[in-house]
Chains A and B, each alone.
Chain A
Amino acid sequence: MSTMSAALLVLADGRFPAGGHAHSGGAEAAVKAGRVTDGASLEAFCRGRLHTAGLTAAGLAAATAAGIDPLAVDAAADARTPSPALRAAARRLGRQLMRAARAAWPSPELDALAAALPRGAHQPVVLGLVARAAGLGPLAVAHAAAYEAVSGPATAVVRLLSLDPFEATAVLARLAPELDAVASAAADAAGAALVEGLDALPAPAAPLLDITAEQHAAWPVRLFAT
């Protein structure tokens, strides 16, 4: 299956209407805690997120794209998401992606998952099935998942700190080689999971993202859903 496809550009476009714009990926909590204050700390934040939550999501998406049962991958996603606030957000985003994707790339596999989990599957699982519907392979969808893991926080920090948007984009550009590496690792792990089972998928975690997600969910006033 081809990696280079314009369908990937459509899917990974920040304007793809699947709800991502309302999520900061933990950046809003990190800004409030003073852990993200400028371009350098944004880069450190995004690098950590990419190699933890980003790699985990990319592995789940790639495994689904590789043809592993989406319900089994969804259970693996639950086990990798200890925060109930983040599980709820992942399922909500999964439902929103499902809606947009069924209009963009209608597919019986998407219909079947929507019927099996009407309250939403984890977003990376839906993303993996969307990739199949769009003719994209595990490596391509791993790129999309890894990119989402950092593009969301970068955009959010532009809004939260009035950070120079050129600086935020430069952060993403500097992370590009690491995005490639994370996507490759995720696709390789998906290949291993086909043989060895889902424990072969990566499960790297970021303690502060998990801990602060629960605090953020309890804020009475916030700009972002996560």
Chain B
Amino acid sequence: MTPPVALVTALAPDPAGVVAAARIVAAPDGRGGTALPVLEGGGPFALRRVGGRGAEARVALVGAMSAPLGGDRLTLDARVEAGAALAFSTTAATIALPGRTGAPATYDTRIDVADGAALRWLPEPLISAHGSDVRTTTRVALGAGARLLLREEQVLGRAGEPPGRLRSRLTIHHAGRPLFDQELNYGPGAPGWDGGAVLGGHRAVGQLVVVHPAFEERPMAARPLGATAAVTPLAGPAVVVSAVARDALELRKVLDSWASELNDVIRAF
């Protein structure tokens, strides 16, 4: 694995902190491919267009090695316009680290996928280091015929250390209606997070959300996958694979195998 990018949670004396934003807009290039009319990074974000495949444009977020300092508020906006296809990844895990003041860091992602557009959103995990405090929100608005593959992974603590505080909310709207809304809340100050109802000693947790219009007509059946993962159809044209695992590698193995299996399902539509 590539070395993780530090996301320092708190912050230099400056109470305003640094606001860093990145923006991606993907649109059809008129020749059957996808152009990136907007690709703006800032602060710790550096966005690169990397080799695409077919109609899909690929963007990688390269974490600049100077970590965000102070009461940083990070925002990432992505819009995929009708007829465009975008894949997004990060080059390394994001690691939340403690800062000097104990103030939380925030990381807000806004994603808009138009009807007839496709997005694969596959960042590396977010690692919550001991003593850190980070709040992330990811809000996704999907048009009626939008396609989405989204992976989200959280790792609680680096190897051998207890985790920091991590609050993470993922909200997906489809055609204006709520499709998926889930907040995960772990670490010191999150009551009961490590009990038998929530994580039960597991230290990596993640999910794969797949939205495809064909699920409307041909929903998948729910399926437990061993004792720590399950494939569940949502009340809409979508499937979620949820998993808990001992560590990031084990988690990725489960999610990757399902990413390829669900890919096969979608190709068969």
Contacts and interface: CB of A to CB of B under 8 A. Distances in A.
Is there a contact between chains A and B in the complex with CB atoms less than 8 Å apart?
yes
Nearest to A41: B196
B240 interface: yes
Interface stretch (B12-20, B28-36, B38-46, B186-194): B186-194
A188 B154 CA distance: 29
Nearest to B240: A82
Given A178-B191, A207-B205, A48 B197 contact: yes
Contact of B235 (A78, A209, A215): A78
Contacts of B230: 83, 210-211, 213-215
Interface stretch (B54-62, B124-132, B175-183): B175-183
Interface in A189-208: 198-199, 202-208
Contact of A45 (B171, B179, B195, B235): B195
B232 A48 contact: no
A8 to B, nearest CB: 24
The residue among A79, A209, A213 with the most chain B CB atoms within 10 A of its own CB is A79
B56 to A, nearest CB: 27
Chain A's interface size range is 35 or more
B23 interface: no
Contact of A87 (B200, B229, B235, B244): B235
Contacts of A76: 178, 181
A205 B183 contact: yes
A137 interface: no
B197 A85 contact: no
B159 to A, nearest CB: 21
Q: A interface, by DSSP: helix, strand, loop or mixed?
A: helix
A82 B234 contact: yes
Interface in B215-261: 222-224, 227-230, 232-236, 240, 242-244
Given A178-B191, A208-B200, A33 B223 contact: no
B240 A45 contact: no
Contact of B197 (A45, A78, A178): A45
B179 A79 contact: yes
Given A48-B197, A51-B192, A82-B234, A207 B184 contact: yes
A221 interface: no
B235 A214 contact: no
A79 B244 CA distance: 20
Contacts of B197: 26, 30, 44-46, 48-49, 52-53, 206, 208-209
Contact of B178 (A48, A87, A198, A209): A198
B193 to A, nearest CB: 6
Contacts of A85: 222
B182 A205 contact: yes
Interface in B147-202: 169, 171-172, 177-185, 190-200, 202
Interface of B: 169, 171-172, 177-185, 190-200, 202, 205, 222-224, 227-230, 232-236, 240, 242-244
16 contacts: A26-B197, A33-B196, A33-B200, A35-B195, A41-B195, A47-B191, A48-B195, A51-B185, A76-B181, A81-B235, A82-B234, A84-B233, A211-B244, A214-B222, A214-B223, A214-B230
Given A87-B235, A214-B232, 8 more contacts: A48-B194, A51-B185, A78-B178, A82-B240, A203-B182, A205-B182, A211-B224, A215-B227
